[in-house]
Chains A and B, each alone.
Chain A
Amino acid sequence: MAESLLSLDDLAVHFKVGNALAGGIKTLKAVDGVTLDVKPGECLGLVGESGCGKSTLALAIMGLLPPTRGTMNVDGQQISGATPPDRMKMARTVQMVFQDPYASLNPRQTVRRTLADPLRLHGITDKEEVEARVIDMMAKVGLRPEQADRYPHEFSGGQRQRIGIARALILKPKLVLCDEPVSALDVSIRAQIINLLLELKDEMGLAYIMISHDLGVVEHVSDRVAVMYLGRIVEQGGWQEIFENPRHPYTRALIAAIPDPFHRAAISADAKARGEIASALNPPPGCHFNPRCPLKTDICTAEYPAFGEVSPGHRAACHFRERTQ
C-alpha cells in the first residue's frame, strides 16, 4: 500500500461562539472527528451542502486553523493542536485554488508578480530562474508569456482561474485543494478548466481534494469520494461505489437532487431529503441527518451510527447501510 500524502485522524475543529453575558458561550463543531487519507496522485472528491464544514476542513488541512482535537499528517509533518505546522514547509506541500477568481487575486499585482512572489519567498532568488519558471507555469495553464505584465482585471473569469491555478502550482506542491474551482465561471468555460486541472494532475503528479457541490464534476474527476454532513464524513468510498451504490440516504438525496435531463424518470421521490441542514451549533441527537431522512426510525434519534464498512474501502455512517434503497 502506498504511503499516504495526507492523513487525518479524528480531526476536529471547534469554535467558541456567543457571548458569556448574553445567552452563553456555545461550541460550534464545524469539523467533528474526520478521519481521511489521500495518497499521492489521487483525487478525493469532497461533497456536502453549505454549512457542512467542507471549507473549515480545507482551512485546517492548509494549516490555517489549528485542530481542536485529533492529528493530521501532511507529507511526514505531524500537526496537532499542540504542534503547529511549519508554514513555509506546508506552503510547498499543500496549495489551494479558490472558488472566486475575481476575489482571490490581488488586483494590484501583475500576473508575473503574483507568480514570482512565492518563488522568491521560498528562496529562489535567481532572476533568470524565477522568470523561466513563471513563463513555464503560465504556458502550462494556457496563458501566453506576453500576458505576464497584465493585471487581473484585464482577464476574463476563466483566464483568472488559470492564474489562480498557476499560483497554486508554482511551488510544485504535492496536494492541491480545489474549493469549487468552476462554480463561479461561465458554463461554457467550465469544461476548459476541468480538463486543465486533470491534465496538470497527470503531468505534475498532483493529488487533489476537489470540494464541490456539483456531483457531475466530482464524479468526473474523483478517484474516491467523501460525503460530509454537519462536520462528519457520512459516506466514503470509490467514485463508482458512491455514485452507483450509495448507502447513506444523504448521498442518495444529493444524487436525486441533481436536475439531470437524461434520467428524469429515474429520480424516485422517496430518495429526496426533506427540509434543510440543521445548525452545527445545535445538531439533532443521534444521527445528525435524522430530521431529513426518509428511513428514520427510533434508533436514529438515539444513537449516532457507526462508520461501518459496506465493502472494502466503502464506509457509511447509517444504521441501515445494508439497504440498497
Chain B
Amino acid sequence: MRGKQGSGKRGTTRRRIKPSTVLIAAILGIWGLMILYPFYNVVIVSFMTEKEYVRTAFVLFPKELTLDAYMRVFSNARIWSGYRSTLLIVALGVPFNLFLTVTLAYALSKKSFPGKRFFNFLVVFTMYFSGGVIPLYLLVKDLGLMGSLASVIVTYGVSVYYMIIIKNYFLGIPDSLREAAQIDGANDLVIMLRIYLPMSTPVLATFLLFFLVDRWNSWYEGMLYLTDAKKWPLQLVLREIVATSQKTEPGMAMGLLAKRENFGMGIKMASVVVTMAPIMVAFPFLQKYFMRGMTMGAVKE
C-alpha cells in the first residue's frame, strides 16, 4: 500500500529515490517540525512586543522584536537566586553523584569477593522497593537538613540504574589487566585509579552529563525541603513565575478573552528560555555522549 503511493512520479527519477523513502522522510520531517514548533513559539513570544501579542497571540513571524521581557526577567532577583542555587546544586551535587555511583560500580564489577552477592542485592533492591516520600521527608527533617540546599544535594546520591550501566562497562575491561597489575603489587584502589578510570573517561564523561542534566532539572526535592523561596532552584522559580501569571487568568472557561488582558506571557516565555538555554545551547554538541550512554544501557554483552 505504502510503496505504491506516487510510485509513478518519483520512482522513475534518475537518482531512483524510492517513493517509500520520500514518504518516510516526510513523516519524520513533519514529526521533527512538530517538536521544533513549540520551542520556536516560546522564543518568538519572548521577543514579541506586548501590543502585537495582545492583538494576535498566534504569530509565526513577529513584525517587531523587543527585549522588554528579558529586561524584566533579568531584573527579577528570583531568577538570579534561582541560578545561584541551581549552579551550587550542580557544582556540589554532580561530583557527589559521580563519586558514589562510580565507586560502587567499580567494587561490584570485581569478579568475586566475600559478600558480593549480598551487597549486590542490597544495592539492587532499592530499585524495586522504596520507603516513599514521607519517610524520606522525615529523615531529611531528622538530619536537620530541612530548608538547606544540602537537603537537595544529599537526597540524590547513588543512581542504581546508572551504576549498573557503568558496572557493565567495567566488566568489559579484560581481567588480565587487573591480574597483571596485581602481580606487580597494585591493590584494588590503585587498579581503579590507574587502570579502570583512565580507560573509562568517555563513559565517565557521559554519566557526568547525565547527572548534570538530572541536577539542572530537579525541582521536586526543592519544593519539598526548601521552605525559603530565596533558596529555590531555577526550575522551581520558573514554576512559580508560570503559576502566578496563570492566576491572572480568571476562570479557565473564559480563557479566550481573559488571556489577552495580561502580559505575563512574554515574561513567562522569557523565563522558560532563560531556564532551558544552557541545555539548548550545549545539547547539539553533547548529544552523541548521551546517546552512547543510552546505547550502553541497552546492549549489555
A and B together in one complex: no
